[in-house]
Amino acid sequence: MLYDFIVFIVVITLAALLIWLMSVAIAPRNPHPVKDDTYECGLPAPEPIISSVNFQYYFYAIIFIAMDIAGVFFVLYVIGNSNPAYGWFFVLFAFLLMIPLSYVMLGGKRE
């Protein structure tokens, strides 16, 4: 079993290396200043672009990632655990996850 895993890792590594080498060897190298310009709807920008990041939905993204990871933990618990005593742990875990979720959904700090 360990041998199969090592063979799998070696094959995947060699495939990734081969794909990277092919992209370096085949990709055209013709840089041009026009390619680095900023475009809006296919046209050059009328004024200089100031790069800013909008953090309006930052909390929603963090909560989505946390809930996604929690879902993986719940699925792993359901699939692999036969001890019902751990069920209370996951009830507490779900309750603790609902606190930040309700804070964000009820209009918490959004600036």
In a domain, 111, yes or no: no
pLDDT value of residue 60: 76
Domain interval for residue 71: 2-105
In a domain, 50, yes or no: yes
pLDDT value of residue 71: 84
HSE-CB at 92 with a 13 A cutoff on CA atoms is 5
In a domain, 97, yes or no: yes
pLDDT value of residue 53: 66
The token pair at 29 is 């190298």
Residue ranges in the chain whose pLDDT is less than 50: none
In a domain, 81, yes or no: yes
pLDDT value of residue 13: 95
In a domain, 110, yes or no: no
- Give the CATH number of the domain where residue 44 resides: 1.20.58
Distance between CA atoms of residues 75 and 95, nearest Å: 17
Please give the tally of structural domains in the chain: 1
pLDDT value of residue 108: 65
Question: Is the Cα torsion angle 7, 8, 12, 18 positive or negative in sign?
Answer: positive
- Angle, helices 58-80 vs 87-105, to 10°: value is 160
pLDDT value of residue 59: 72
In the chain, the largest separation of any two C-alpha atoms, in whole Å, equals 64
pLDDT value of residue 110: 54
pLDDT value of residue 28: 81
